Amino acid sequence: MTKRERMHRALDAALDMARRCRAADNLGASRIDFSTLSPARNASARQEKARNAAAFKKLFPEGGKELRPVRTSVNEKERLLRTAFELEALAARGMKPVAYKKKAAELRAQAAKM
């Protein structure tokens, strides 16, 4: 599973959890708590941070572990091949086609030597 797929899966889980929380609260979370507002109707930075932390705990009781990306070590060969693939994709879309194809070929040759 790629990093992008993990990110999309985590965001989908977060949206699903948010929908369930909103349904359970009957939209109570979207109401403004005027007790936390200053006279100028602006929340202070501390209040904003506390409100965001409370909302995060409510949405993610496990601490949001599913949102944190899992770091995997990537060896040099995989990094070179991934960069070559990205350069070829850019060239296919018309961005510096000659230069990017040439650089991708160099990176693939360098990865093949490893």
Domain boundary, last residue among 33, 49, 67: 67
HSE toward the beta carbon, residue 106, CA cutoff 13 A: 7
Number of domains in the chain: 2
Cα separation of 58 and 21, whole Å?
8
User: Which of 12-21, 23-32, 89-98 is modeled with the greatest confidence?
Assistant: 89-98
Name the residue range of residue 85's domain. 76-113
Residues 20 and 63 in one domain: yes
Q: Are 23 and 55 in a shared domain? A: yes
- Higher pLDDT residue, 61 or 79? 79
Query: 82 or 14, which is more confident?
Result: 82
Provide the 3-class DSSP secondary structure of residue 71. coil
The pLDDT tens digits of the residues spanning 62-101 come to: 776 666 666 666 788 999 999 999 999 999 999 999 999 9
Residues 14 and 44 in one domain: yes
User: Residue 83 has what DSSP assignment?
Assistant: H
Q: What rounded mean pLDDT belongs to the chain?
A: 78
| Residue 75 CB neighbours (<10 A) | 8
Stronger pLDDT, 106 or 54, i.e. the higher one = 106
Domain co-membership, 7 together with 62: yes
Same domain (yes/no): 52, 80? no
DSSP per position, 10-35: HHHHHHHHHHHHHHHHTTGGGS--GG
Asked whether residue 22 falls in the same domain as residue 50, the answer is yes
* Phi/psi of residue 37, nearest 5 degrees: -90, 150
Q: Flag whether pLDDT at 40 surpasses 80.
A: no
